[in-house]
Every structure is written in structure tokens, then in C-alpha cells.
Amino acid sequence: MAMVVDYKHDSSFPYWTSIRRRFDPDSPFFSSGNLERELLAKQVALDLTEDERNQLEKMIDNDARGVFCPIVGCGARLTSLEDFEDHYIARHTASCSVCSRVYPTSRLLSIHVSEAHDSFFQAKVARGYAMYECLVEGCDLKFKNYKGRQQHLVDKHKFPTSFEFFNKAHPSKKKRLKNQQKRRMHKKDEEASSKMEVENETIDGLVSAVSKLSTSDSSPSNISFGRRNARGLTFVPRSIHAPREKK
Amino acid sequence: MADDSLASHRRDPIKSSVGNVAAQRRRQNAATVGKERRESLVRAKRLCRVGATGEGDVLVEENHMMTDEEGFLLEDQTSSAVKELKSAVVYQGKGAMQKRVNALRELRRLLSKSEFPPVEAALKAGAIPLLVQCLSFGSPDEQLLEAAWCLTNIAAGKPEETKALLPALPLLIAHLGEKSSLPVAEQCAWALGNVAGEGEELRKVLLSQGALPPLARMVLPNKGSTVRTAAWALSNLIKGPDPKAATELIKVDGVLDAILRHLRKSDEELATEVAWVVVYLSALSNFATGVLVKSDALQPLVERLATSNSLQLLIPVLRSLGNLVAGDSHTTSTVLIPGHEITDGVIKVLVKCLKSDHRVLKKEASWVLSNIAAGSIEHKQLIYSSEAVPLLLRLLSTAPFDIRKEVAYVLGNLCVAPATGEGKPDLIKENLVSLVQRGCLSGFIDLVRSADIEAARLGLQFTELVLRGMPNGDGPKLVEQEDGIDAMERYQFHENEDLRNMANGLVDKYFGEDYGVNE
């Protein structure tokens, strides 16, 4: 079906419904209680450390064995859910050393750097090359202008229409007003405004943080999930410094 | 110290020049022992260290980590004991019975010594066929008892070892009969409980061999260790996943009565095992659930929750209550009617569980509350106006993850009217506004940030309620204040498409281009 779902009508949002939930006796939901039963019956419950308990839980409950990071292309194994936030902050908030914007993958950070801080990039754009690459790994399409890519993201990859690649932080009210004006002015413009004007663009999240998982990281390169192929950084603009590590 | 035959064989060579190798082996041993120990801890099987009649080697050290030497010695002794048993079984002359009992007793002692009895050695030496022979009809009680005890401990360990009991099963079941002496019946029940605890296949075998009816009859008396052991064995036997056994059990004459009686009056240890039977009855069999609810089983469950402080008892009782509420809509609609005494009682004991220190109790009590909160508007108001809400709000910000998820279900259910099947459910605005004012939003936004799909979904769904339902269009502002936009934006590169769409949809609808412009 070629229909584009219009998210503004959120007809597909799964609203909260209050329903009864029942579990089978061997459901993972009950596994900690089951474990407690056996430990108490053997009278060892009090002798165990927190660590030993976790080990025991892992034996009986597959879910307790840890979860994988759900950010596309990451695949890192998290020892517990509590660890995820730290992991996210450490690995998915890659910041640009030039302008401090934050992105969830190194690929996106590098795309940002090209588009926002690289004059060679701009030069090529000016000559009509299709330089704006699709932000979805594996898609590989390129566009001649920012708007074109933006439209592609919304149409093909169902990105929100309000998505903006540039800023990770949501703009303050003042900035929002400024953007409003700008957008009204540029409505007729096919080309995106000068790419060197970093301040005015508000691209949320998507490409904004070419991930922290940059090549200077000592950890191995990304493993991507599913059908997407892993891609190393194919083009590292000269303006990239060693990205700041956020621990 | 009793039974120091091991100690007298202890030699010093361990400290000699081979010390290093021995130390290394001990370390390896410790790692395997660690793994073996962990496996034995989580099993639903129980080793018999003290027999039905009270005898047994109670003075043996707990957690005694055997050296290799001691291990080999024990294995040797076991092989010899089995050999001895073999000749005793064959022997027909004077004093044959005593000889047999002595040999059995020796083997039984070796199999009851430590946490890890020399089962492999016993099996290798051919213990099973001999023990089966010792179970033959007409054998003296002492012989039956010792043989069943040996089999109990052989079956208490690894899967292959438990499966080795197959040839003995028909006889063990036969000795459950009312003609058997109580200690014998109990010891056989114990052995069968271990077999049933192994897995679905063995449970099927036991059921097909008719283990259920005699075992069920053993819980009819008012008290005794036999009743307790039989109840435990039954809980292992009916745990499914096939619900047939559970349904069959509740139909056995006198069982329902006995269950209710034990829940009401028996001591905590016995009530605990019976409660686990109820757990499986209510989780697996709709028929049993209906019967239990109609017979007012909720009352003694609530009573126990109110009066007991034993975690061992509280866990299965709470879960039984939870299963009865979850499994049958009648429970909430016809028994737990708001305003009735039983309903107030249920809320009270659930609040007591929320206040406890125990993780399992807090989590499962929240689950039960969430199901009651999934009932009528009156049910929601009942919970909303109870002591539960302040506790839940605190748990939402401070408790471990699995508890927070259940708490989220309760709070969300309180804000949403019962589904009518048409379009999106109506909000209960007063509840939503009040809960948000009391600070629950940040807890839900935290769930949005979680790596757990279910939790993230809950967080996003509640965020939608806030965005949609807060008066004066306050929703988006409040969500932004709690870094909700940031949390939702993380989904742009999340691998789960549903969550991506949910988050993107909300951001688009409520934080689009026009957000914040007209202030």
C-alpha cells in the first residue's frame, strides 16, 4: 500500500485501555516469586548476596538475562534495564565538537558535521551534486537539498513532519518564534537556506547526533540489526576533531 | 560429632608438594560446585535429610565443600553399600530382613549426608533395580521406608538422575494407598514430588499411572507432616502446563473442603503448601477458579494476608488471590463489589503488601490492584480514595523497575474509564489531573526512556493521556517540563517501529510547528 499514514490524525495510536491481565504459572512474571519459594524452603534465602540472587534469577528467567540496546545499529548488551540510561548517555549522545549539538549515532554526527561545518560540502551542493544523504542507514539515497531529504524521510521512512535534523535540544520559545518566521519566509524557497547558518536550523535528533560511536572510540564499530548493513564512516570531513567522550 | 568416618580418613597430603595442583582443582571444584549449588537451589525438588519418623543425620555440616578426597571416598562407600544391598537382597537365610534393612539404611545415610549426595555412584552401581525390589508388596515398613528415602534423594538432583526412577514409579504410587503406614506413604509422596518437580514429561507419566487420586486423598486429614508433604507433591504434580490435572484435582471428593479448611485453620507451614496448590489451580484451570470463587475462597486468603507475617506463606496466598481476580471477571464483578466487607478487606491487605519490604509482594500486589482497577468506575474510585495511591506514587519513583511497571498499570487504569468497545476510552479527568499534580508524570516519562518495550509503551500511552486530557491545554507544557519531548525524540532511531510511530505521532500532534507560538 502506497498510502502514507498521516500521524496528525493519530488514528493508529494504541490508547490506554484498562484491561485485566492474567499470567500463566510459568510466565516470567512469576519467576522471582517462584525462586523465593525454593530458596525459603531450603532456608538459604537470608544467606545470599544481591549478586547471587541475580545470578539465580538469570538461571530461571530468560528475560532476566539482560537486554540489548534498542537504538538502531547499536546492539550493545546491557546487564540490566537500570544500566540503559547510563549507556544511552554515554553512547548515544555524541556531540559535535564544533557546535555541541548532540546525535544518537556517530554516523549521524558525521553527516551533521558535513552538512553544517564543511565548506567543501557546501561547494558541492552549490554545483548541484546530490549531497544530502538519507539518514536511515542502508537507504543510501541522496538529495540535492535539505528539504528534499526531509520530504523523503517523512514520506518513505515515516519520520514526524516536525522532525528537524539539526538540533537535539528542543528550541526555546524565542527560537521557535524565530523559526516560525524563517519557515514562513522560506516557504516558497525550494532550496534550504544557507547551510552555513547553523544557528537557525532545527533538526531534531535524527541526524543531529552523529553518534558517539565514532572511530576514535576504542570499542568496536557498530553492529547493525536486521537487514541493514554495517557501514563504516565513508567520509570524514576535515573539520571533525576527536569527538568529546561523554562518560 | 556423629558419623566422623570421613574425618578419620582425612590425611595431610593435601598440604604437601601437590598442594598447588590440589588448590587449583579445589578452585575449579568451587566453580562447578557454585554452579551445581545454584542449580540445586532453584530446583522444585527437595532433599530428605531428616526422615518421616524424625531420624536422620542432623549433625552434618551445611554447605560443607567436599575436598576431592572426601568426594572419592563417599563414592567408594556408596558403591560398596550398593554391593552390600545386592547381596542382602539375594540372601534368603536367617535374618534376611534385618540384613536388607541395614544395607538400605547404610545407603540411605550416604545419600543424605551432604548437599550433593553421591547419586551418580549409586546409579552406576545399579541401585535402582535393587531399590525397586525392596519396594515389593508385603515388605516390612522399615524396608519400604528406607528404600523410598533412598529413591527420594536420588530423584532430588539432576534431570537424568530423577528420570532414573521410572521403574520405581508404579510401586511408589501403590504405596500411597490408605493401607500403607503414614511414614511410608509420606516418604513415597516425597519421592514422587521430586519426580513431578522434574518436568512436564514425568508429570504426564505420573498422571497416566494414576498418581493423582491417592495423593489427593492424603491431604484430607486435618494435620500432620504427611498432609504437608502430599500438598507439596501435589503442587508439583498439577503445575502443568496442561490444565487437566488441576481440573481433575478440584473434582476429587473432599479436596475443595480440605483446601478451604487448611487455608482457614492449619498452621502456617501446611497452609503454605496448600496455598501453592491453590496457586496452580487458579492459574491453570478456569473450572477450578470458578469453583474456588463460588466457595468463598477469597475470605480465608484475605484473612491470612491480614494476619500472617511469614513471607513463605504470603507469597502463594497473594498470588492465589491475584490469580482468582485475574482469571475470572466474576471475581471482581460479583464478589469484590465496592462497599462489601470483603472488598474493603482485599484493598486493605493489598495495601499491607505494598508497605512490605519484600519485592515480590509489592510487585504482585500492584498487579492485583491493577486488575481491580480495570473493573468498574466504582472499583477505580474505591482504589483511588484508598491508602494505596500515595504508596503507589512513591513506588513509581523509588521502586525497582519491575515494581514500577506494575504500579504504572494501576495508576493508568485509574485514569481511564472502562472500555466500551468504541473508539478511545474516556478519561477520568479528575483522577488524571490529581495524579499528575501529585507528581506521577516524571515516573511515566522515565518509563518512556526505558529499554523495555512494554514499559516504554506504557509511558507513551500515559503521556498521551496527559497531552490529551489535561485541562487548559496544559498537557504539552507539563510534558515538556519533565523532558518528555526529549524522551520521545529518542525514538526516532529506535528499532521498534510501533514505538517509533507512537512517539513520532505524539510529537507531531502536540509539539508541531505551532507549539508554543501563541503564548
Segment B159-165 shows an average pLDDT of 96
Q: Report the DSSP beta bridge partners of residue A102.
A: A95
Contacts of B5 (CB under 8 A, 6+ apart): B77
Judge: B517–A177 Cβ closer than 8 Å, yes or no: yes
Q: Which residues of B touch A15 (CB under 8 A)?
A: 424-425, 461, 464
Judge: A7–B517 Cβ closer than 8 Å, yes or no: no
In this structure, what C-alpha cell is assigned to residue B300? Answer: 480465608
Beta strands per DSSP E along B239-319: none
In this structure, what C-alpha cell is assigned to residue B186? Answer: 509420606
**C-alpha to C-alpha distance for B292 and B213, rounded to whole angstroms:** 19
Q: Which helix (H) or strand (E) holds A142?
A: strand A142-143
- In chain A, residues 117-176 whose CB comes closer than 8 Å to chain B: 158-163, 168-170, 173, 176
Q: Could you tell me which of B59, B62, B110 has the C-alpha nearest to residue B82?
A: B110
Q: Which helix (H) or strand (E) holds A78?
A: strand A77-78
What integer pLDDT is reported at residue A159 of this predicted model?
Answer: 81
User: How far away is chain A from the Cα of B41, in angstroms, using its nearest Cα?
Assistant: 6
The least confident of A95-99, A159-163, B432-436, B510-514 is A159-163
Residues in chain A with pLDDT < 70? Answer: 1-11, 45-46, 61-65, 166-247
Helix residue ranges per DSSP H, B155-267 = 159-163, 169-174, 182-196, 200-208, 212-217, 225-237, 244-251, 255-265
Judge: A33–B502 Cβ closer than 8 Å, yes or no: no
**pLDDT tens-digit profile of A143-192?**
999 989 999 998 888 787 777 776 544 444 444 445 555 555 555 454 44
What integer pLDDT is reported at residue A103 of this predicted model?
Answer: 83
Look at phi and psi of residue B430 and say left if phi exceeds 0, alpha if psi is from -120 to 50, else beta.
alpha
Q: Which residue has the cell 503507589?
A: B392
**C-alpha to C-alpha distance for B410 and B388, rounded to whole angstroms:** 10
Q: Which residues of A touch B359 (CB under 8 A)?
A: 32
**pLDDT tens-digit profile of A96-114?**
888 877 788 888 889 999 9
**pLDDT tens-digit profile of B213-238?**
999 999 999 989 999 999 999 999 99
The type of residue at B461 is Q
User: How far away is chain B from the Cα of A174, in angstroms, using its nearest Cα?
Assistant: 9
What integer pLDDT is reported at residue B423 of this predicted model?
Answer: 78
Quick check: helix, strand or coil at residue A105?
strand
The type of residue at B473 is G
- In chain A, residues 63-82 whose CB comes closer than 8 Å to chain B: 67-73, 78, 81-82
**C-alpha to C-alpha distance for B98 and B90, rounded to whole angstroms:** 13
**C-alpha to C-alpha distance for B388 and B296, rounded to whole angstroms:** 24
Q: How many CB atoms lie within 10 A of CB B164?
A: 18
SS (H, E, C) B433-475: HHHHHCCCHHHHHHHHCCCCHHHHHHHHHHHHHHHHHCHHHHH
b/e code A164-196 from CB counts within 10 Å (16+ = b): bbbbbbbbeeebbeebeeeeeeeeeeeebeebe
What integer pLDDT is reported at residue B235 of this predicted model?
Answer: 97
Minimal Cβ distance to B42: which of A59, A176, A205: A59
In this structure, what C-alpha cell is assigned to residue B148? Answer: 523410598
Distances (CA, A) of B432 to A179, B132, B437, B469, B502: 34, 67, 8, 8, 20
ipTM given for this complex = 0.89
The type of residue at A42 is K
Segment B483-492 shows an average pLDDT of 90
Q: B141-154 vs B127-134: helix axis angle to the nearest 10?
A: 150
Distances (CA, A) of B318 to A43, B297, B363: 21, 12, 11
Judge: B280–A25 Cβ closer than 8 Å, yes or no: yes
**C-alpha to C-alpha distance for B342 and B296, rounded to whole angstroms:** 10
Judge: B42–A13 Cβ closer than 8 Å, yes or no: no
**pLDDT tens-digit profile of B46-72?**
999 886 566 665 545 555 666 778 888
Q: Which residue has the cell 500411597?
A: B176
Distances (CA, A) of A11 to A151, B364, B500, B505: 21, 34, 15, 10
Q: Which residue has the cell 505524539?
A: B506
Residues in chain A: 247
Which of A8, A13, A18 to mutate: most B Cβ within 10 Å? A18
Could you tell me if B320 and B294 are in contact, meaning their C-beta atoms sit under 8 angstroms apart?
Answer: no
Judge: A39–B323 Cβ closer than 8 Å, yes or no: no
Q: Which residue of A has its CA nearest to B115?
A: A42
Judge: A19–B502 Cβ closer than 8 Å, yes or no: no
- Please state the φ and ψ torsions of residue A232, each to the nearest 5 degrees: -80, 180
Could you tell me if B373 and B383 are in contact, meaning their C-beta atoms sit under 8 angstroms apart?
Answer: yes
Q: Which residue of A has its CA nearest to B400?
A: A82
The type of residue at B507 is V
Q: Which residue has the cell 516519562?
A: B445
A31 and B CB contact within 8 Å: no
Q: Which residue has the cell 524424625?
A: B54
What integer pLDDT is reported at residue B53 of this predicted model?
Answer: 60
Q: Which helix (H) or strand (E) holds A103?
A: strand A102-103
Distances (CA, A) of B364 to B319, B353, B371: 7, 9, 11
Residues in chain B: 519
Q: Which residue has the cell 525524540?
A: B489
Judge: B450–A41 Cβ closer than 8 Å, yes or no: no
Q: Which residues of A touch B480 (CB under 8 A)?
A: 170
